[in-house]
Amino acid sequence: MKKNTKEEIVDSAVLLFNTYGTSSVSTNHIAEESGVSIGNLYYYFKNKEEIIREILECMISDWDHIWVAPSNGDILDGLQTIIRQSFHLEWKYRFFYRELIALMRIDEQLQQRHQEIEKQRIEEQKKLIENLINSGVIRNLRSPSDIDSLLTISWLISNYWLSFLESDGQEITDEQVERGVQLILTVFKPYLAI
Amino acid sequence: MKKNTKEEIVDSAVLLFNTYGTSSVSTNHIAEESGVSIGNLYYYFKNKEEIIREILECMISDWDHIWVAPSNGDILDGLQTIIRQSFHLEWKYRFFYRELIALMRIDEQLQQRHQEIEKQRIEEQKKLIENLINSGVIRNLRSPSDIDSLLTISWLISNYWLSFLESDGQEITDEQVERGVQLILTVFKPYLAI
DNA sequence: GACAAATTAGAGTAATTACTCTATAAATGA
DNA sequence: TCATTTATAGAGTAATTACTCTAATTTGTC
């Protein structure tokens, strides 16, 4: 489990960002935390923004692993698993979700990359829902725009459930994560075949 | 419409925070933008955090006006109006919503105040829903926990709809606001008496 | 008008910031 | 082996930061 210098820097940055927020953490802090000299840090990263961009790439890679996982067995079960793992990733990189819009406003490159993969992800989710409709798990939807609405709502929940808990001052526990999963199912409940 | 110095500072702060984000805006910037000397700014505010706290108080006051408004006429219409106005307030103070969790982590005083009024607001919303149930607008809910779920979901949408649009790179227009209102109604649709 | 209190201006400061530069040390490979 | 690339350390710098201090001005009150 030997980490190289670059990984060491990224890991320390995530730790500090999660704890103190990006604006309170300087490159000097990151260097100190990771036990790497300032000079060496700047050998690997041009600036703080580039570190954050690298963290985004780590997130993307983590996400890919979740979606690649084959959902053998119950299709609804597979969906729940994906949602659950998504919540865990959001927690791992929580600083990013807390400050998302602010970060993207500062760094346009970050914005473009994030929006690019976000678009992909929505498409994937759309396909998954269509799958559920085709296999008869979901029915009784009145119009195609209803699908869009449902999709948007479940997206909102999966992306902001942890933020809501945090801003409400609640602890993030496994039970809370489970509540989030169930919340998404609540939205679909009226349209689920028993 | 003559503004006093304190208001001038607060207004400039909101403008700059919305445009550049709190971390990029210094007290010096705010002083310059508002045409007030640094010394004078510090006469009114101990530091940047205190300015943000004052902005929160402005928000709270604005919110109170929305909820005080008597919902004469259709109760469902009144609800929609409140949601619509909420979105407009969220946009007015958008920096606050963008950076909420980060801001609260830095300033515990801000966190406590925000969570205090947030709790109140959830209670108000709960009463409103109960009102809708009692007056027969909403029905067919299976259990009391269903009410809670519905409430949480509509809360999530009303709080994060604009954030979602922003992080998705979409413009905030009146039509988008209306979509947000309709989205919340979608959640209740299966339970609405026609 | 005279006095006190409230308000304003802006020069000044210590700390921190991001980032550069140069000088070594370690790894590589011909 | 030894020369070249890669990696590391850390002192140094210019800019910016939040905030203080003092001195001047305005305001209100009698």
* Chain A residues with CB-CB distance to B114 below 8 A: 167
B63 and B35 within one domain: no
Residue B176 maps to a domain: yes
Residue B73 has pLDDT above 90, yes or no: no
Residue A187 contacts residue B150 (beta carbons within 8 Å): no
> Does the CB of A100 have a partner CB in chain B at under 8 Å?
yes
Q: What is the pLDDT of residue B72?
A: 67
Q: How far is CA B52 from CA B9, B64, B86, B99, in A?
A: 11, 19, 20, 12
What's the pLDDT tens digit per position in A134-149? 888 888 777 878 888 9
Same domain, residue pair B21 and B77: no
In a domain, A70, yes or no: yes
Same domain, A84 and A28: no
Band (pLDDT 50/70/90 cuts) for residue A2 is low
* Predicted pLDDT of residue B70: 60
Residue A169 lies in a domain: yes
Same domain, yes or no: B39 and B59? no
pLDDT at B69 over 70: no
Task: Tell whether the model's pLDDT for residue B30 goes beyond 90.
Answer: yes
Note whether B173 and B151 are same-domain residues.
Answer: yes
Domain encompassing residue B13: 1-45
The domain total for chain B is 2
Q: Which two tokens stand for residue B52?
A: 């943000």
- Do A9 and A90 fall within a single domain? no
pLDDT tens figures, A31-77:
999 999 999 999 999 999 999 999 999 999 999 998 876 666 787 88
For residues A125 and A155, membership in a common domain is answered with yes
Tell me if residue B154 falls in helix, strand or coil: helix
- Please indicate, yes or no, if residue A103 is contained in any of the structural domains: yes
**Taking CB atoms and an 8 Å limit, are B168 and A115 in contact across chains?**
yes
Whether residue A54 is contained in a domain is answered as no
Are residues B63 and B26 part of one domain?
no
Q: What is the CATH number of the domain that holds A120?
A: 1.10.357.10
A186 in a domain, yes or no? yes
Is residue B6 situated within a structural domain?
yes
Residues of B in contact with A168 (CB under 8 A): 115, 118
Q: How far is CA A102 from the centre of its chain?
A: 16
- Which residue type does B56 have? L
pLDDT greater than 80 at residue A153: yes
Asked if the structure places residue A50 within a domain, the reply is no
**B41 and B109 fall within a common domain:** no
User: Same structural domain for residues B31 and B108?
Assistant: no
Question: What is the mean predicted confidence (pLDDT) over A90-107?
Answer: 97
Q: Residue A95 pLDDT > 70, yes or no? A: yes
Chain B residues 10 to 39 with C-beta below 7 Å from nucleic strand D: 26-29, 38-39
For residue B1, pLDDT over 70 is answered with no
Exposed e or buried b per residue across A133-157, where buried means at least 16 C-beta atoms within 10 angstroms of its C-beta: eeeebbeeeeeeeebebbbbbbbbb
